[in-house]
Structure 1
Amino acid sequence: MIGQIIEKEHIVDYKIVPADVDKTASLQYKLLAAQRLGNEFKSKTTIVFQTEDGPKRIETTVWSLTEQYIQIKNGILIPLKSIIEVEY
């Protein structure tokens, strides 16, 4: 899995930018499953997203999913078009 591991609390230290390829449509099922795992089972998901400093990876609970973002702890939003990979 690509991306430097960072603590989710440090996401705010990075500028999130769109990934080279927008995988929103292909990741939709995995993101819905990650949200269900987070809400029903408090299970964590590994998410790789693009920043100006290159790909970053976090392990977190997905709290909600909209058409444009996932929301994690502390109201942090990650744009779907910035997500490179999702694993759980």
Structure 2
Amino acid sequence: MKRSLPLVEKDSLRKMIFPSEEVLKTADSARERRRLIERATILSNLYHNKVKIVFEDREGSKAVDTTIWATTDFAIMLKGGAVIPIHRIHSIDLL
């Protein structure tokens, strides 16, 4: 049985501490994550599609359902100024 991750509010992201280590094991996985982030950013901005982002802070894995407003080389920005470092994102799924 798969354990469900805690679903957090995007406002709580500001208080989280993100370690500097990459969470993905391979360069191919990181490239695929980047592709999914770019796609999700476009869909969020054009159609207001929400995504489920699975990420890991220093306390463990969590998820957030939100729209992505912008993407930089190092982080994604959510509504209200919340930020998640890209190297801490496990997956992104369209909702």
Normalised by the shorter chain, which TM-score bucket? 0.7 to 0.9
Moved over 6 A (4+): none
Task: Supply the AA of the counterpart residue of 1:21.
Answer: L
Count how many residue pairs are aligned between Structure 1 and Structure 2: 88
Unaligned runs of 5+ in 2: none
Residue matched to 1:80:
86
* Contact 1:70 1:80 survives alignment (8 Å): yes
- In the superposition, the TM-score normalised over structure 1's length comes to 0.87
Residue matched to 2:24:
21
What is the percent sequence identity of the aligned residues?
A: 24
Provide the alpha-carbon RMSD of the alignment: 1.8
Kindly report which structure 2 residues correspond to 1:15-54, keeping only aligned pairs within 5 A, or say none: 15-17=17-19, 18-21=21-24, 23-54=29-60
Task: Supply the AA of the counterpart residue of 2:23.
Answer: D
Distance, in Å, in 2 between the alignment partners of 1:29 and 1:73 is: 21
- In the superposition, the TM-score normalised over structure 2's length comes to 0.81
SS, match of residue 48 in structure 1: strand
Per-residue deviation, residues 16-72 of structure 1 (Å, max 9, x unmatched): 224432653221111111101110001101001111110110001000111111110
Using the TM superposition, give the Cα deviation of residue 3 of structure 1 relative to its aligned residue in structure 2, in angstroms.
2.7
Q: Quick check: which has more Rg, 1 or 2?
A: 2
